[in-house]
Amino acid sequence: MKKVFLSAITALLLFSCQNDQSEGMNSETSAIARRACATQEVLEAQLKADPTLAIRMNQIEAFTSEQLIKGFSGRLVNGKIEIPVVVNVLYRTTSENISATQIQSQIDVLNKDFNALNSDYNSVPALFAGVKANVGITFVLDQIIRKSTTKTSWGTNDAMKKTAQGGLAPTSPTTKLNLWSCTIGGGILGYAQFPGGASSTDGVVIDPKYFGLSGSANAPYNLGRTGTHEVGHWMNLRHIWGDATCGSDLVSDTPTHNTANYGVPAYPHYSTCSGTPVEMTMNYMDYTDDNAMYMFSTGQKNRISAIFVTGGPRAAFGI
């Protein structure tokens, strides 16, 4: 399952040339059938708009690789990181104005999933049991900000994060994780901004139908794992298939996937990619249903940890 880490130059090419994973994004009906995360599309748009972003992201990749090459063990700054979370709720309808209980349920899911306390953690197959990981990061609800709007959907151009466009600007984004709950449209469940992007748009966007424990009507994405997946991106994790056929997610202990997996794949699910026949479909960074994803790997944990150490792009969260 070993992958070679990409150089900064290779990473730049990866960020610039990854495939457009647009299947299942054409309607709200298709989103119910197939998970759709717009993080990669948003990244590609940001790279086109800001040529310096690729430079910053390559510097982050070089820093991350350096930490891992030096034998970085995953130790976080000041021990365990506790991340304050600001939730920005933009609503037009009563159902979009999600309750404090639903919001807290998402925080609870994040705490379980990032601390290996999820009830399905022990369902990880024996093949991957040696690399399943407790990331060891906790989340605390800091503030809920609500704003009524006339918008029926917000899209993926970060309008929900801009006051001038009717949204809510992030609160203290260098020291607080901002989540936006709003109807995105286009079949998109959520999206995140990778480390290195502008602080004015930093954070995670989740459609209210898939925010936390949102009820059986929103199955199979009603268990809060859209939040786990998107926060994973915010912590510098890539889609496990690398947004390319047999692509790289820049993690050494995750198998190479043919492409995204959907639904609840039967185990073992075989890949035709060279050297890695069984795919880690239960990883949070795949596209499976909420009840089919339940692990991070040790390599992903170490990649996450690198952004919080001194010199990392989110080191301020560890102070």
| Angle (nearest 5°) at CA 25 between 24 and 26 | 100
**Residue whose pair of structure tokens reads 């800091």 in the numeric block:** 142
From CA 112, how far away is CA 120, in angstroms rounded? Answer: 10
Sheet architecture: strand order including 204-206: 137-148, 81-91, 177-181, 204-206, 190-192
End-to-end CA distance of the chain: 35
Backbone φ/ψ region at 147: left (φ over 0), alpha (ψ -120 to 50), beta: beta
- Catalytic entry in 41, 96, 230, 279: 230
Tally the C-alpha atoms within 13 A of residue 155's C-alpha that lie toward its C-beta: 8
| Angle (nearest 5°) at CA 199 between 64 and 233 | 45
Concerning whether 230 is annotated as a catalytic residue, the answer is: yes
Please provide the DSSP assignment of 210-240 as one string: GSSS--GGGTTS-SSHHHHHHHHHHTTPPPT
Q: Is the peptide bond before 268 cis (omega within 30 degrees of 0)?
A: yes
Tally the C-alpha atoms within 13 A of residue 162's C-alpha that lie toward its C-beta: 10
From CA 258, how far away is CA 133, in angstroms rounded? Answer: 23
Q: Name the residues annotated as catalytic.
A: 230
